[in-house]
Chains A and B, each alone.
Chain A
Amino acid sequence: MSVFKPSVEKDAPDQQTAVINDFSITVATVNGSGSQTSNITILRALFKMGIPVSGKNLFPSNIQGLPTWYTIRVSKDGYLARREEQEIMVAMNPATFIQDLSKVCSGGVFIYPDDINFKIEREDIHIYKMPVKRLVKESDAPSSLRDYVANMVYVGVLAYLLNIDIEKLHAALEFHFKGKTKPIELNYGVVQATFNWAKENLVKTDAYQVAEMHETTGCVMSDGNTAAALGAIYGGVQFVGWYPITPATSLAESLNEYLPQLRKDPETGQNTFVVLQAEDELAAIGMAIGAGWSGLRAMTSTSGPGLSLMTEYAGLAYFAEVPVVVWDVQRVGPSTGLPTRTAQGDISFTYFMGHGDTQMVMLLPGSVNECFEFGWRAFDIAERLQTPVFVLSDLDLGMNQWMSDPFSYPDEPMDRGKVLWEADLEKLQSSFNRYKDIDGDGIAYRTVPGNLHPAAPYFTRGTGHDENARYSEDSQVWHDLLERLAAKYRTARQYVPKPEIECMDCSRIGIISFGSTEPAIREARHQLAKQDVPTDFLRLRAVPFTDEVDEFVNKHERIYVVEMNRDGQMHMILSLVYPERATNLISIAYTDGLPMTANIVRELIMAKEDK
């Protein structure tokens, strides 16, 4: 299949009519040049102006010197998915200059430093040159910082051209530099000077501008990894074993940052948590499973290659029934793949993870706020079910900045599951059988080390075991054990988050998706509705599927399953679970490493609808 190129339907804007709060800005730079501060500053300033906004870093797997793009979408209508159209381009990187120039839509804006010497032949766009070197030289920046503050020049120019509130840029810098006056004023000085230069020297000919709104009031701006870490902290995480891997690293680093602030014993100053950087992912999950087994809320965070390494231990945790939470911030596989690009390619692998018969519980956060929620909820589910719970985020959700409702405090007390302590064992009339299904839900009772009751200890193993955790090769015992685990997985349906469903009138078509594609789907559905294709939408939040999914799949004539992978992995799982509906389930799978867009979703669905 060739690279999918959605058509761009918009005409060039009339220069007389202002285009307000509805366009994309892309900044092309070299990675490691410090442009991230500038980009985030613009993003935050727009957010502070009350305008719905999203920012995505499309970056290489490299420390310094390769092309990188940052794209900001400004949308008065609240559409925050990536778009193909690029109205405003800031071309700071000579290496991609020609390519960047070609990408600007007709009527768009092209801004670049005046020391890049390329002949520009396009006449359908508005071009602005910035004397970056001169403006930086005129600033008080020490020479060692000049390359970094150079990026503030385009912030000042954009502020003038788009009418960004310069005070809000100051507030954004204050936030970024955590109130440290020196860097704030140094950077802001450049922004101000450039703004003034632009005001005197540039004649605005294009149509794009921003204007204050009130759509972000009460919202927060965060990335999913930070949200997940905070959620885990409010979920009482006690043990984190981890190993660095893009794009999951910042999750564990956020735990390292926030745990000491939030989780020290107020009287003694001692820690109620342990964060341990393991020697590799094999050990990271081994540690987390050991901790989960001994009664701690334990987790690890990783991405595809790490998940592959964790497979054998995950199988043991499934079989020996040990609670543990694994965050998989997905990147593009197979193999090392594209480490800094996004995908949803670990779905079927996680579902079937391990040799033998296994079924894994997966949570699928679709927003930053849900990353927070699943951060704490995953522990409740893992401890209730005594099984590994995988939370599948992705690079786009995990590492990019998203506006979101504020994180809401857990609305339920912790569920520590069926754990028996000394007093419980004392009250127990019968003996304690570690793997006996007393309640008929497939979940047995467990004890944890430190419980000094003589009946408490048992021996945990990955080999065949009977209800008393004794080694057994008995055929019936083995058969019954696997059946109980299957029953437990059915029980899981009661405990996992239900899907979100949004319906439109008269729609016979359903769309199922999950995770970070939500904004693209939402926008695509509005576009489809305008083309007389109304759709109902179900956003999965977990596997196994709950009753709501059964109903949705049964109710719709055609159900498009949208996901960012090649093989339609969620579509496969749905087809397995609902074989009688398999012909009604249609796969819309697309992956190129970039976040999903509404155009892709709309056009792939329209192609199937044959319209």
Chain B
Amino acid sequence: MEAQAASAPRTQVNLIGLTRQDYRGNPTTLCQGCGHNSISNQIISACYEVNLQPEKLIKFSGIGCSSKSPTYFLGRAFGFNGLHGRMPSLATGALFGDHTIKGLAVSGDGDTASIGMGQFKHAIRRNLRLVYIVENNGVYGLTKGQFSATAEVGLHLKSQGTNPYMPIDIALEALVGNATFVARSFAGDPKQVKELIKAALSHGGISVLDIISPCVTFNNQDTALHSYAWGKEHEVALHELSYVPPAEEIMVDYEPGEAKEVTMHDGSTVILKKVGQDYDPTSRSEALRVLEEANAQQVLLTGLLYINTEQPSLREIYNITETPLNRLSEKQLRPSAESLQKMNEMMF
């Protein structure tokens, strides 16, 4: 197995002839064991496996540990590291440049759930076609361990004392804000993270992935809700999720009634294999209910909580040209001199 792995990367390519190496970025500078690194790796794997051309994706991020991570994957993609909490507006404008390019954003709980709350919710409301990953660890890492807005009430941190405030639940906020794809996952469950990212990349609107991503340096005590230990102990998956690319035969093996299939915007399929109880991810009220229940029962409920493939995306709302806007010629952008003469005549 080891021998195979050593020789494989040189020859192994995906359907568009790229190696896994083509999806990598710079070496990470985050702490060893950081959940964010695990998520970066799953982004690499997901993009490699769905044969995404790296140049056809834009990476976005705000400010914080999480927001540094876009340099650690897809080095061949464009990227823009914007302002704290204000990456969604940047992405909103940038994604109009060429509508054939996908967007993938990485934010953190500090970036999204505090200063970024407004822009987060408005990007959701507009159904901007963007994979919005929140690497959620409950603390501010770069400034050395202050509570974030997603930290649970009563969380005790050595240098900070006890958190007196109720937490913000990012998945709940996304649902309440009418997001069309909401998932929660756990950096300690890489396979699920990867399949969710693949599904999100095929979604026509906004996809919010609230991924619990432990901070090994500042908030990884076994009892903390954003720790590896707690996650491993308390994770309950809603379903076993597999992504089947468009026009590929569904090979996942399941008994009738044991799985749900969701057809995505681009013709791909997401298969949700039942693990416990039945769950219908097209029901928003069900999603709200199970999240509330999970909070009450103190479990880390993961999986695709909600999906709505009907709502038009931001681009569809604006009816822009098939030719990418940033490739329109001067002739297409500057109206004629005759038209100006008419405008002048109207200016009484």
A residues neighboring B (CB under 8 Å): 44, 47-48, 172, 175, 220-222, 226, 230, 233-236, 238-239, 241, 258, 262-263, 265, 268, 270-274, 276, 278-280, 282-298, 312-313, 316, 406-407, 409-410, 413-414, 448-454, 456-463, 471
Contact = CB atoms under 8 A, between A and B. Distances in A.
A238 B325 contact: yes
Interface stretch (B44-52, B73-81, B241-249, B261-269): B73-81
Contacts of A283: 86, 88-89, 92, 118-119, 122
Contacts of A226: 347
Contacts of A295: 97-98, 326
A221 B83 CA distance: 42
B339 interface: yes
A233 B93 CA distance: 18
A47 B77 CA distance: 57
A142 B105 CA distance: 58
A293 B328 contact: no
Contacts of A407: 340, 343-344, 347
Contacts of A458: 78-79
A261 B319 CA distance: 15
B126 to A, nearest CB: 8
Contacts of A285: 89
B77 A291 contact: no
Contact of B93 (A48, A258, A282, A298): A298
Nearest to A226: B347
B322 interface: yes
Contacts of B343: 230, 258, 262, 407
A316 B55 contact: no
A290 B90 contact: yes
A293 B80 contact: yes
A272 B333 contact: yes
Nearest to A470: B26
Nearest to A316: B83
B97 A449 contact: yes
B: contact size bracket: 35 or more
Interface in B67-123: 70-71, 76-83, 86, 88-98, 100-101, 118-119, 122
Nearest to B92: A287
Interface of B: 53-56, 58-59, 70-71, 76-83, 86, 88-98, 100-101, 118-119, 122, 318-322, 324-328, 330, 332-335, 337, 339-340, 343-344, 347-348
Nearest to A40: B348
A286 B347 contact: no
25 contacts: A220-B348, A234-B334, A258-B343, A262-B343, A270-B319, A271-B319, A278-B122, A280-B118, A282-B118, A283-B86, A283-B88, A289-B93, A290-B90, A291-B94, A293-B93, A312-B83, A407-B347, A450-B100, A453-B55, A457-B77, A459-B70, A459-B79, A460-B80, A462-B81, A462-B83
A372 to B, nearest CB: 9
Given A271-B319, A414-B334, A450-B324, A457 B79 contact: yes
Given A238-B325, A270-B322, A295-B326, A462 B82 contact: yes
B21 to A, nearest CB: 13
Contacts of B330: 236, 413-414
Contacts of B53: 452
A175 B340 contact: no
B90 A289 contact: yes
Contacts of A282: 86, 89, 118-119
Contacts of B86: 282-283, 286, 313
Contacts of A453: 55
A265 B82 contact: no
A318 B52 CA distance: 32
Contact of A459 (B71, B96, B318, B348): B71
B151 to A, nearest CB: 25
Contact of A313 (B54, B77, B83): B83
Given A449-B58, A457-B76, A463 B333 contact: no
B93 A459 contact: no
Contacts of B320: 270-274
A112 B12 CA distance: 90
Contact of A286 (B83, B101, B319, B340): B83
A175 B348 CA distance: 7
Contact of B97 (A268, A272, A280, A448): A448
A23 B317 CA distance: 52
Contacts of A274: 96, 318, 320, 325
B319 A452 contact: no
